Amino acid sequence: MGIMLKIDNINVYYGAIHAIKGISLEVDKGEIVTLIGANGAGKSTTLRTISGLLKPRTGKISFEDKIISGMPAHRIVECGVSQVPEGRRIFANMTVMENLELGAYIRKDKNAIQNDLKRVFKHFPRLAERKKQEAGTLSGGEQQMLAMGRALMSSPRLLLLDEPSMGLAPLLIKEIFAIIKDINEAGTTILLVEQNANMALSIANRAYVLETGKITLSGDAKELAASEEVRKAYLGG
């Protein structure tokens, strides 16, 4: 196994707002780890800090024993970390294929890129059917698949997923989560931020609960799903 991502006591500010208050967490190679919590708890801020879009004021983040906090975002992608942003953010007036090709822009290995394209189409057959279509004409679920496929095209060892279920119908959420599990089983480690705590805990190995910028609970995902405290606060039980 071995620790892949280690966050060590980071503090992150948005202007004057202290958004992340000294959190530490780790993700082992091969795991699915989820961050759950209410809106505004700091889940997305944590992901944005890992991917280099925000800088921690104190503390450090290391990926495969290399310190990445403070590195520019594109260098972090080159290290093997790729984020699927909240709200998908695909390029609407480009085709599905062009979006996927953009995901591989940092890579030179033509053959490996072709293999990854095949892998993306295997995970997401619907994208293969629509590869010449403009991305803006896809349904919400298909756009989420495209955003995930585009991130996979950078061949990440760690995939950061920010609210993949947002705005999707329950059946599609099930499908997206089954695909997340497949991607993990095919060898990609995943850190998942999710409002839908039930779904997130059902596929994760471990979980952290974030409340107003602090981690209040962490542990085995199944155990947290069964805990009274988590059920009351996040699972509507």
Q: Where are the domains of the chain?
A: 1-80+158-237, 91-155
CATH of 1-80+158-237, one of 2.60.110.10, 3.40.50.300, 2.10.60.10, 3.40.50.620: 3.40.50.300
Distance CA 98, CA 91 (A): 9
pLDDT of 24 above 90: yes
pLDDT surpasses 70 at 237? no
What residue has token string 């329950």?
Answer: 170
Strands 158-162 and 81-84: parallel
pLDDT band at 39 (very low <50, low <70, confident <90, very high): confident
Report the mean per-residue pLDDT for the chain: 94
